[in-house]
Amino acid sequence: MSVGIVGLGYVGLPLAVSFAEAGEHVIGIEVNARRVAQLRCGESYIEDVPSAALQAVSDRLEPTTRIAALAKVDAIIVCVPTPLTPNREPDLTPLVDACQAIATVLQAGQLVVLESTTYPGTTRERALPILEESGLRAGVDFHLAFSPERVDPGRTDWTLQTTPKIVAGLTETCGNAAEALYGLVCDSLVRTSELESAEMAKLLENIFRSVNIALINEMGELADRMGIDIWEVIDAASTKPYGFMRFEPGPGMGGHCLPVDPFYLSWKAREYDFSTEFIELAGKVNQHAPYLAVEKVERKLNDMGMPVKGTRIGVLGVSYKAGVGDIRESPALKIIARLGQLGAEIAYHDAFVPSLSQFDLRSGSLDEVLEFSDVVVIVTAHPDVDHVGIAERHQVVDLRGVTRRQRAKARPAQHVSLKSVKAA
């Protein structure tokens, strides 16, 4: 089987390499010519794809900007971004452009699969009519399916191969074709009966996390005002063997999924005269989290008898999650911007992010940033950084709870008689 991947980013490139490693010929379409040049030289720009892995499949992976190359593949997978407009409404421009381009080269018998996260109905209502402008009929002349991506950058315990893959087809035959395709690279497939079910399942996954993160952030703010250690509360609650799932507070959400995807469903819900209040409220709480983080820095400086203006602040970690260099929607960007507006002098250290061009900043060494700083703010707790040791020697605002005092692990309950307690 030959496979075409449209969009070689965080989703598309790992998928392309996986199919190539499975022995399939892959044509990767990428509009960014610079990226295509890098890939042809065997240089990866995605952390989850080592350059060595890319080089190992160079004879089976053909990166190009030419959409016409898709005319000779058996399956086409669309992995383009689905961002929000400035008004926080779905921006399907990349998806529509991709479908329009595919329609110009679509061949009878081909399978087209959308992986881009979107609202229920997109595949049927938006992609299908555009693709049928080719003169071919979906479900008759070509197959159409949806299979949402489940990529978590930097994760190694669950991979593309081992994470169950949801698939849905426009027709039964379309679904069978999608299962045959993903069966080449995925151990487990989950079939839904409708395209819309698969589209909504992806949104539910992310909305579940978004709502729970908002809840724990709100609980964290309340605990802070009450003088209660929220981390001890979470540790204690996590000992319950059922009915509780651990979430932790932080400076805000980042990445492409959680800050964006829930609003796709809330936007679509308006069409049905329905208000998704939990989604909207969670979005409000999570968007405000970076500003609460800045307030914590201000309180720390106030305790030190220092104003924000003119104070040298070192930021540790600017990517949106530990162990990766992805800064999409990272709360660190809002925190740095706000502290800069208040007049602080900023330096940062992040071994995964060499520069922040929007702030004209470059990552300094850990020692340089610590020496520079009057106060250090832990925004993202990357591995291999001794945050506890830093807190022992410097003024620190810990937004991730990694420097909190060590508490004894929960011990199994032991029978203690009232008599023995009185004797003691």
CA 219 to chain centre: 23
- Left, alpha or beta for 307 (phi > 0: left; psi -120 to 50: alpha)? beta
Residue from 284, 74, 60, 253 nearest 177 by CA: 74
Kindly give the pairing relationship between strand 355-356 and strand 111-114: unpaired
Query: Is residue 314 within 8 Å of 377, Cβ to Cβ?
Result: yes
CA 293 to chain centre: 21
Residue from 207, 204, 187, 142 nearest 169 by CA: 142
β-bridge partners, 113: 77, 145
**For residues 104 and 102, what is the distance between their CA atoms, to the nearest angstrom?**
5
**For residues 328 and 400, what is the distance between their CA atoms, to the nearest angstrom?**
19
Maximum separation of any 2 CA atoms in the chain, in Å? 90
Examine the residue annotation and report whether 257 is marked as an active-site residue of this protein: yes
* C-alpha distances out from residue 60 to 28, 180, 371, Å: 10, 20, 49
Query: Is residue 363 within 8 Å of 349, Cβ to Cβ?
Result: yes
Q: For residue 305, give the amino acid letter.
A: G
**For residues 38 and 34, what is the distance between their CA atoms, to the nearest angstrom?**
6
145: Cβ contacts below 8 Å, ≥ 6 apart: 111, 112, 113, 114, 123, 167, 168, 169, 170, 174, 175, 177, 178, 195
**For residues 62 and 347, what is the distance between their CA atoms, to the nearest angstrom?**
41
Query: Is residue 29 within 8 Å of 67, Cβ to Cβ?
Result: yes
Pinpoint the alpha helices (H) of 183-276: 195-226, 230-237, 261-269
**Active-site hit among 79, 174, 186, 257:** 257
Query: Is residue 239 within 8 Å of 269, Cβ to Cβ?
Result: no
Provide Rg for the chain, Cα atoms.
25
**For residues 161 and 117, what is the distance between their CA atoms, to the nearest angstrom?**
19
Angle of helix 277-303 relative to helix 195-226, nearest 10 degrees? Answer: 30
Q: Which residues are catalytic?
A: 257
